[in-house]
Homo-oligomer: A and B are copies of this chain.
Amino acid sequence: MTKARTARRGRSGGGAVRRAERTAVRIETAKYIERNIPNFEILNEEALEIIETNAETILEEIGVNFVDNPPALEVWRNAGADVQGERVHIPRGMARKLCATAPSMIKQRARNPDRNVEIGGRNLVLAPVYGPPFVRDIEGGRRYATMEDFQNFVKLTYMSKWVHHSGGTVCEPTDVAVNKRHLDMLLAHMTLSDKPYMGSVTEPERAVDSVEMSKLLFGADFVDQNTVMTSLININSPLTFDSIMMGALEVYAKANQACIISPFIVGGAMAPVSVAGTLAQVLAEVLAGVAYSQLIRAGAPVVFGAFVTSIDMNSGAPTFGTPEASQITFGAGQLARRLGLPYRSGGSFCGSKLPDAQAGYETANSLNTALLSGVNFMLHSCGWLEGGLVSSYEKFVMDADQLGILHHMARGVDASENGQAMDAIREVGPGGHYLGCAHTQENFKTAFWRSDLLDYKPYETWEDEGARDTETLAAVRVKKLLADYQPPAIDPAVNEALHDYVARKKASVPDAFV
């Protein structure tokens, strides 16, 4: 069984601990996944070399744009790139060489050290959905997300055993001014959860706020010496790096905080309709972005990102859980490993408007691919609906439950004497059954993954209880989790300092909604 860690109750004392233990929902978080299974390698050596060669050709001959960012152009020029206007032509091999200073493993600290994660190697760290402006639940339907929704998703993440990371913009709190909502979002991650979190990237100064608030939470020295945030820097594919994202990257790189440098690919729109072509572009973009981060600060922790979907050529809609997206996800994992960088991809992707069968198929296709692709950090691992427009309460707990499957799959096959179970086979013999044998008695509690949500009841019982579908069962679980939620203990002085910071910053400028 994956080692589960009971939440530290800190200052809440013995009484609170005993009360918490009486609640049905236990707050425990599994350790991040440490794979004991191979990765699925879809590309052969020849294809890998072709793609790597093409990526270098793209960088040298076509180049990449660093837009509205003269200092970045100066950095590139000084490094030896051929800069023409905003176009940076990177000589063959130069970007890959610069990438070599990026660490292959990132240890991100949480305020509860039991929740620290290590992103890289054979590990897989799971974080929730990021970015949707809408939420959906079974009773309220689809509506704009609010700060209350945001807090609810942070709470659900905190209470989800198989989710290791609190994520970032679990939904867009549209009822808070655009120029201030990052403060409330950070405050929620820092105070309602003790799992590691992401910083703001929507303006460089919001990245600064993220670093400052982290210093209040962890102490300034600690933040100087440790990575306490992993933030999402999207590339404007094809081949374009905008000044806002690069500005946030610069802040984080200088502060030694981690960034995911991630092409955002809707195949057929932002990349070619072919897998090998898309992979060459993705690799070129990541090489350029990571190289730039290392020019800002050699050794800055960065992740090879790939957000990949494809377009439906009939309707223009993005599609999810498709075989082409899976192939790119598999291939990008191989490219990331050859580059020696941690890899971010995958998620609970679906295009469905409802948490229905379509959502289930598409999400499972995506999650399985991510596991076998060697992904090290999976953003969007639960709660994603409607192509990322919606954070779904019910789908959140459905997906979070499925993440247990990834943990158990990754354990691999136990070929020890106990795993071989020859005593059991001898004991039971032909025609018998294993339900009561000694080996079963000793192992059944940890032998099989078990859903905390899905229906396993006899048909008649299920029918008597209302013939509930998965969404209905999930709605019950959402309510129970939110009702049972208790915040992790926090030093009152730290809590106050964070609230003060947020209040002060909010008071210092008028609201802006663009």
Contact = CB atoms under 8 A, between A and B. Distances in A.
A268 B62 contact: no
A101 interface: no
Given A63-B430, A372-B372, A429-B238, A267 B40 contact: no
Nearest to A134: B459
Interface in A266-289: 267-281
B358 A361 contact: no
Nearest to A328: B413
A208 B462 CA distance: 42
A406 B323 CA distance: 7
Interface string A356-383: 1111111111001100100000000000
A50 interface: yes
A335 B323 CA distance: 27
Given A274-B414, A322-B449, A361-B398, A469 B421 contact: no
Interface in A397-445: 398, 402, 405-406, 408-409, 412-415, 418-422, 424-426, 428-435, 439-440, 443-445
A255 interface: no
A354 interface: yes
B448 A238 contact: no
Contacts of A50: 415, 420
Contacts of A358: 360, 454-455, 469-470
Contact of A433 (B269, B425, B428, B448): B269
A345 to B, nearest CB: 16
A355 interface: yes
A494 interface: no
B365 A313 contact: no
A57 B363 contact: no
B317 A458 contact: yes
Contact of A277 (B61, B319, B424): B424
A422 B54 contact: yes
Contact of A431 (B240, B275, B355, B430): B240
A38 interface: yes
Given A365-B364, A386-B459, A454-B358, A425 B270 contact: no
A310 interface: yes
A315 B454 CA distance: 12
A450 interface: yes
Interface of A: 37-38, 40-43, 46-47, 50-51, 54, 57-58, 61-65, 67, 87, 142, 236, 238-240, 267-281, 310-315, 317, 319, 321-324, 326-327, 331, 351-365, 368-369, 372, 386, 389, 395, 398, 402, 405-406, 408-409, 412-415, 418-422, 424-426, 428-435, 439-440, 443-445, 447-451, 454-459, 462, 467, 469-471, 474
Given A37-B42, A272-B424, A312-B448, 4 more contacts: A268-B447, A276-B419, A331-B413, A360-B360
